[in-house]
């Protein structure tokens, strides 16, 4: 009789003290840390033991600043390589996509990067090495456009129509501004079939592009999609540009590689992931690590620019070569140093980020 009553007492004590898992089965208690700011990171100084995760607590204990106030980092306009002529940055009034009035940075750029060379894009002969050409993005991979790549295109795309070189191995390449205008066009004529398309910096010296980004990013609960390329007149909301590098070159929407290839043209990107369009000038389709990258003191990936919502964009990998594992659908996440920010996609994916977590300038 004594033994039985002791067991009953032990069972009821469990229910009173632990408030969880009062089944006959033993539970394994683990330590949970308070997460007031709901960033998924817990406060190492406030914890409790429990079998199941208590509301407001997480298993992580790395939040040194669990204040309930999320870190918001203003755009640092001094990071832009403004020179007063090719690139200017000015604070102006603006209206954001959530309807709020705000301050924005107006970035006026000639799309002429001051931190690296542009090109080359098309090799001249199928015997040329990789230094003579740029890169191509296909199926999530990045390929050097060297002479051998051009020579191999019929095999690579399993289509015998591809033969972008003559009997001497010389590669058919656009030679003039007119060629570039005609060939860099969705309705490219058959006369440019089997051409390597490159528009040179000397063709676009009059370009001036203006972009607005919020000076203080405003995170929204629902991310904004980017505008899609569609038929003329189709309603589009949201910007199509993803962001801007510190040199004023835009991180553009994915290159329409299917349309380019469908016309039997190849419009390579240079090693920095950019090429020139006669209307928009030089723009990026991939972050290959060549434009200005601002190192972080804590091993976090370096910063490469700002998204159109004013949240910063960082390289994909930290200094140990790891990609963050907690990125959201936009490729963003939060930490107390940088606030909400993005990590750019792998260059081979012809992509930077997937959506905007914050409000953009109308
Ligand atoms: Zn492009
Ligand atoms: Zn990060």
Give the number of the ligand closest to the Cα of residue 197.
1
Give the number of the ligand closest to the Cα of residue 278.
1
For residue 288, report the distance from its CA to the centre of ligand 1, in Å. Answer: 15
Token pair 């919502």 is at which residue? 309
In contact, 236 and 227? CB cutoff 8 Å: yes
End-to-end CA distance of the chain: 78
| Residue 210, strand partner residues | 108
Which of 85-99, 158-172, 175-189, 253-267 shows the lowest per-residue confidence on average (mean pLDDT)? 175-189
pLDDT single digits (tens) 122-145: 999 999 999 999 999 999 999 999
pLDDT of 124 reads 98
Please return the burial class of 344, using the count of CB atoms within 10 Å of its CB with bins 0-12, 13-18 and 19+: buried
Task: Round the average pLDDT of the chain to a whole number and report it.
Answer: 91
Cis peptide, bond prior to residue 120, ω within 30 of zero: yes
Please return the burial class of 252, using the count of CB atoms within 10 Å of its CB with bins 0-12, 13-18 and 19+: buried
Question: Mapping DSSP to helix (H, G, I), strand (E, B) and coil, where does residue 291 land?
Answer: coil
DSSP assignments along 248-277, one per residue? S-EEPSPP-HHHHHHTTEE--B-TTSEEEE
pLDDT of 337 reads 95
For residue 30, report the distance from its CA to the centre of ligand 2, in Å. Answer: 27
For residue 97, report the distance from its CA to the centre of ligand 1, in Å. Answer: 26
Residue 60 has pLDDT above 80, yes or no: yes
| Band of pLDDT at residue 276, cut at 50, 70 and 90 | very high
Residue 236 has pLDDT above 70, yes or no: no
Give the number of the ligand closest to the Cα of residue 229.
1
For residue 285, report the distance from its CA to the centre of ligand 2, in Å. Answer: 21
Per-residue pLDDT, averaged over 260-279, amounts to: 95
| Band of pLDDT at residue 308, cut at 50, 70 and 90 | very high
Give the number of the ligand closest to the Cα of residue 285.
1
Give the number of the ligand closest to the Cα of residue 316.
2
For residue 35, report the distance from its CA to the centre of ligand 1, in Å. Answer: 43
Query: Does the reported pTM lie above 0.95?
Result: no
Give the number of the ligand closest to the Cα of residue 335.
2
pLDDT of 190 reads 84
Report residue 219 as tokens.
Answer: 């995170």
Share of the chain above pLDDT 90, in %: 78
Give Cα separations from 139 to 277, 302, 349 (angstroms): 23, 26, 7
Question: Mapping DSSP to helix (H, G, I), strand (E, B) and coil, where does residue 179 land?
Answer: helix
For residue 44, report the distance from its CA to the centre of ligand 2, in Å. Answer: 20
| Band of pLDDT at residue 70, cut at 50, 70 and 90 | confident
pLDDT of 229 reads 60
pLDDT of 234 reads 60
Which of 15-24, 132-141, 176-185, 263-272 shows the lowest per-residue confidence on average (mean pLDDT)? 15-24
| Band of pLDDT at residue 231, cut at 50, 70 and 90 | low
Give the number of the ligand closest to the Cα of residue 302.
2
DSSP assignments along 295-357, one per residue? --TTSPPPEEEEETTS-EEE-SS-TTS---S---TTSEEEETTTEEEEEPPPGGGS-S-SSEE
Give the number of the ligand closest to the Cα of residue 284.
1
For residue 318, report the distance from its CA to the centre of ligand 2, in Å. Answer: 8
pLDDT single digits (tens) 195-212: 999 999 999 999 999 999
For residue 5, report the distance from its CA to the centre of ligand 1, in Å. Answer: 79
pLDDT single digits (tens) 25-34: 678 899 999 9
């Amino acid at each position: 009789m004594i033994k039985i009553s002791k067991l009953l007492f032990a069972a009821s004590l469990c229910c009173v003290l632990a408030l969880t898992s009062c089944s006959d089965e033993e539970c394994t208690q683990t330590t949970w840390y308070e997460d007031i700011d709901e960033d998924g990171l817990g406060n190492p100084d406030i914890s409790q033991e429990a079998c199941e995760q208590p509301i407001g607590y997480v298993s992580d204990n790395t939040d040194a600043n669990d204040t309930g106030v999320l870190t918001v980092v203003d755009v640092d306009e001094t990071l832009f390589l403004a020179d007063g002529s090719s690139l200017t940055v000015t604070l102006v009034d603006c209206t954001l996509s959530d309807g709020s009035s705000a301050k924005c940075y107006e970035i006026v750029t000639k799309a002429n990067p001051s931190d690296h060379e542009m090109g080359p894009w098309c090799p001249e002969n199928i015997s040329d090495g990789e230094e003579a050409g740029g890169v191509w993005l296909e199926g999530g991979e990045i390929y050097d456009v060297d002479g051998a790549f051009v020579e191999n295109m019929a095999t690579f795309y399993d289509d015998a129509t591809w033969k972008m070189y003559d009997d001497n191995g010389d590669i058919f390449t656009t030679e003039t501004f007119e060629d570039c205008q005609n060939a860099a066009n969705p309705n490219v004529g058959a006369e440019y079939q089997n051409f390597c398309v490159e528009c040179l910096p000397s063709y676009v010296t009059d370009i001036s592009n203006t972009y607005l980004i919020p000076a203080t990013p405003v995170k929204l609960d629902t991310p904004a999609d980017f505008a899609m390329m569609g038929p003329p007149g189709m309603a589009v909301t949201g910007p199509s540009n993803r962001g801007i590098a510190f040199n004023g070159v835009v991180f553009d929407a994915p290159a329409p590689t299917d349309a380019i290839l469908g016309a039997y043209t190849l419009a390579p990107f240079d090693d920095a992931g950019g090429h020139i369009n006669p209307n928009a000038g030089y723009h990026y389709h991939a972050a290959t690590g060549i434009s200005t990258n601002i190192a972080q003191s804590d091993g976090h990936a370096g910063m490469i620019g700002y998204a159109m919502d004013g949240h910063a964009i960082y390289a994909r990998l930290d200094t140990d070569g790891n990609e963050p594992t907690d990125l959201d659908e936009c490729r963003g996440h939060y930490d107390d140093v940088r606030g909400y920010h993005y990590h750019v996609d792998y260059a081979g994916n012809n992509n930077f980020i997937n959506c905007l977590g914050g409000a953009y300038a109308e």
